[in-house]
């Protein structure tokens, strides 16, 4: 393995992952909102199969997400995981947490600068009183006033199916400032802010020490003249109290987080910034995306959480886990969109540049969607498909025998555990476990590979992707 | 046997992209009336 003096390493100070359980917002996911309008029976079925917060906490993949169980341990647990709940599961993880819906509503109210959110006074005081210390005073009204707002078109905010609040549009005519879109955007903002605030607390870093925030959330923030105009990053920085920071958004569908990491690391390497936070909030539109398949199979609706994360990057120190910036690779326009081309350009070529083979990587972080969510709908086991592609490439290059493909997948891959939140499962979700495994000496390195479905936006037929190696800085 | 048949090609992000399916089937004499690549996660 090459470890020349040219190695460019940027330190990872810490990472925090959060899952916000929002069962009453599942019906506002893109798929449920469309399907339940056409079929009211589906709405009833959906409501009956929503999970309680304790059930979401005790769901093994969620415990992996927040760091209390390793992906290797998850692989050994009996399925279905939604039935074999973890006894004594905690909302606090080694590098993450789970947040309940009432707390989320509280955060939503505290971060609202435009009087979009209103809650019923008594319910709010009893259930959601504690927002962040620097949060704004919530707008509280009677239930009659809440109902009147909803009659005028505001979105209902419910708790256990009971109306407790309203979310209003930001403009009477602007299609980009509807209640639906602003709820998505504000949900992304507050979940990302929660992850960053929690990370700064965990690593004992004052928000004022962050120079720059990069958001790779997927929401399109902007009005009718600036759809997707963005800089949610700066709104998140403000929310967390990063008063010395500015920020910007990095978007590339699910490939966004790894691009954001490379951009953040580059800002540090170039000397422009000292500490950069990379953050993303959850995707409300993806809630309940596969709920019909789950209902048909008698399963609970598993897509009931908003995923978020935050990473802080800084100059590398001895023995610190770090991103190898010189290993970063992008998927070029000329590469083509086939899985083999993606693997060549995102794994084989950047490794070869460092004098490494595919078999020199101890663990690959790919798109780690939870198969228990995707397989019932016919979407397959996404991580396994990606690992098999890497293994097949290793066979083609003569690095392993065909008979060793399963060994390659077992040794260098892992079972998926992330909710189908688009950018969240896309490799970055493994960083927390990778840092632990590096510190414990269980692995020497890990390669992160993400892919983005650019073609969904109908601007190009291309896919996209980004990758880099993570390893321990020499002592 | 396939000559002149109309086909809808739906590709998948982690599998075969729509344009690749269309190229192959078009070359085999089918008329591709619609092709798209989708992401199912």
Secondary structure in 3-state letters for chain A: CCCCCCCCEEEEEEEEEEEEECHHHHHHCHHHHHHHHHCHHHHHHHHHCCCCHHHHHCCHHHHHHCCCCCHHHHHCCCCCCCCCCCCCCCCECCCEEEECHHHHHHHHHHCCCCCCEEEEHHHHHHHCCCCCCCCCCCEEECHHHHHHHHHCCCEEEEECCEEEEEECCCCCCCCCCCHHHHHHHHHHHHHHHHHHHHHHHHCCCCHHHCCEEEECCCCCCCCCCCCCCCCHHHHHHHHHCCCCCEEEECCECECHHHHHHHHHHHHHHCCCCCEEEEEECCCHHHCCCCHHHHHHCCCCCCCCEEEEEEEEEEECCCCCEEEEEEEEEECCHHHCCCHHHHHHHHHHHHHHHCCCCHHHCCEEECECECHHHHHHHCCCCHHHHHHHHHHHHHHHCCCCCHHHHHHHHHHHCCCCCECCCCCCCECHHHHHHHHHHHHCCCCCEEEEEEEECHHHHCCCCCCEEEEEEEEECCC
Q: Kindly report which listed range (A8-17, A55-64, A134-143) carries the lowest average pLDDT score.
A: A134-143
Task: Give chain B positions within 8 Å (CB) of A425.
Answer: 41
Task: Give chain A positions within 8 Å (CB) of B37.
Answer: 337, 453, 455, 461, 463
- Pick the last residue of a domain from A315, A342, A363: A315
Question: What pLDDT is recorded for position A2?
Answer: 45
pLDDT at A151 over 60: yes
Q: List the domain boundaries for chain B.
A: 6-38
Site from B9, B12, B14 to mutate, A interface, most A CB atoms within 10 angstroms: B14
- pLDDT band at A1, cuts 50/70/90? very low
Is there a contact between B17 and A456 if contact means CB atoms under 8 Å apart? no
Question: What pLDDT is recorded for position A3?
Answer: 47
Q: Kindly state whether residue A76 falls inside one of the protein's structural domains.
A: yes
Question: What pLDDT is recorded for position B1?
Answer: 75
pLDDT at A86 over 90: yes
Region A174-183 average pLDDT: 97
Give the tens place of pLDDT for each residue, B4-35: 899 999 998 888 889 889 999 999 999 999 99
**pTM > 0.90: yes or no:** yes
Say yes or no: A251 and A339 in one domain: no
Question: What pLDDT is recorded for position B14?
Answer: 82
Query: Quick one: what percent of chain A has pLDDT higher than 90?
Result: 94
Say yes or no: A304 and A332 in one domain: no
Q: Kindly state whether residue A96 falls inside one of the protein's structural domains.
A: yes
Residue of B nearest to A422 (CA): B41
Which has more pLDDT, B38 or A284? A284
Tell me how many domains chain A contains.
2
Of A339, A382, A463, the CB nearest to B41: A382
Region A194-209 average pLDDT: 98
Which value does ipTM take for this structure?
Answer: 0.82
Is there a contact between A461 and B17 if contact means CB atoms under 8 Å apart? yes
- Pick the last residue of a domain from A267, A283, A315: A315
Domain that holds residue A184: 10-315
Is there a contact between A453 and B14 if contact means CB atoms under 8 Å apart? no
Is there a contact between B13 and A377 if contact means CB atoms under 8 Å apart? no
Is there a contact between A382 and B14 if contact means CB atoms under 8 Å apart? yes
- pLDDT band at A199, cuts 50/70/90? very high
Question: What pLDDT is recorded for position B3?
Answer: 81
Say yes or no: A157 and A230 in one domain: yes
């Amino acid at each position: 393995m090459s470890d020349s003096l040219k190695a460019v390493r940027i330190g990872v100070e810490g990472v925090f992952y959060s899952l916000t359980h929002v069962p009453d917002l599942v019906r506002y996911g893109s798929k449920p909102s469309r399907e339940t309008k056409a079929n009211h029976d589906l709405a009833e079925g959906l409501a009956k199969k929503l999970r309680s917060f304790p059930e979401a906490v005790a769901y093994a993949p969620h415990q992996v997400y927040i760091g209390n169980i390793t992906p290797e341990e998850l692989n050994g647990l009996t399925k279905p995981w939604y039935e074999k709940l973890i006894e004594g599961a905690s909302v606090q993880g080694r590098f993450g947490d789970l947040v309940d819906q009432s707390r989320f509503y509280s955060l939503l109210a505290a971060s609202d600068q435009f009087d979009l959110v209103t809650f019923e006074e008594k319910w709010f005081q009893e259930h959601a009183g504690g927002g962040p210390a620097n949060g704004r005073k919530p707008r509280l009204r009677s239930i009659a006033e809440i109902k009147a707002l909803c009659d005028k078109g505001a979105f209902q905010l419910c708790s256990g199916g009971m109306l407790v609040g309203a979310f209003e549009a930001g403009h009477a005519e602007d299609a980009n400032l509807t209640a639906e879109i602003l709820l998505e955007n504000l949900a992304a903002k507050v979940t990302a802010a929660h992850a960053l605030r929690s990370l700064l607390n965990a690593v004992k870093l004052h928000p004022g020490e962050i120079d720059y925030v990069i958001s790779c959330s997927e929401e399109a923030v902007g009005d009718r003249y600036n759809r997707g105009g963005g800089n949610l990053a700066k709104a998140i920085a403000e929310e967390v109290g990063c008063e010395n920071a500015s920020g910007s958004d990095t978007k590339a569908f699910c490939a966004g987080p790894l691009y954001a990491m490379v951009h953040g690391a580059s800002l540090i390497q170039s000397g422009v910034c000292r500490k950069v936070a990379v953050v993303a909030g959850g995707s409300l539109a993806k809630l309940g995306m596969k709920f019909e398949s789950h209902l048909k199979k008698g399963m609970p609706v598993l897509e009931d959480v908003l995923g978020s994360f935050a990473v802080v990057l800084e100059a590398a120190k001895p023995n610190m886990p770090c991103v190898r910036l010189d290993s970063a690779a992008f998927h070029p326009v000329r590469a083509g969109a086939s899985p083999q081309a993606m693997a060549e350009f995102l794994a084989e070529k950047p490794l070869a540049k460092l004098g490494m083979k595919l078999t020199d990587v101890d663990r690959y972080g790919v798109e780690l969607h939870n198969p228990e969510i995707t397989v019932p709908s016919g979407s397959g086991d996404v991580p396994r498909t990606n690992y098999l592609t890497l293994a097949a490439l290793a066979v083609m290059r003569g690095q392993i025998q065909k008979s060793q493909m399963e060994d390659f997948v077992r040794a260098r891959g892992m079972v998926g555990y992330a909710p189908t939140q688009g950018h969240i499962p896309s490799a970055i979700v493994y960083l927390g476990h990778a840092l632990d495994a590096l510190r414990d000496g269980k692995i020497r390195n890990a390669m992160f590979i993400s892919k983005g479905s650019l073609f969904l936006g109908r601007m190009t037929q291309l896919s996209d992707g980004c990758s880099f190696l993570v390893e321990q800085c020499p002592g | 046997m396939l000559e002149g048949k109309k086909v809808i090609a739906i590709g998948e992000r982690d599998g075969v992209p729509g344009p690749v399916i269309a190229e192959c089937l078009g070359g085999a004499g089918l008329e591709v009336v619609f092709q798209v690549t989708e992401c199912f996660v």
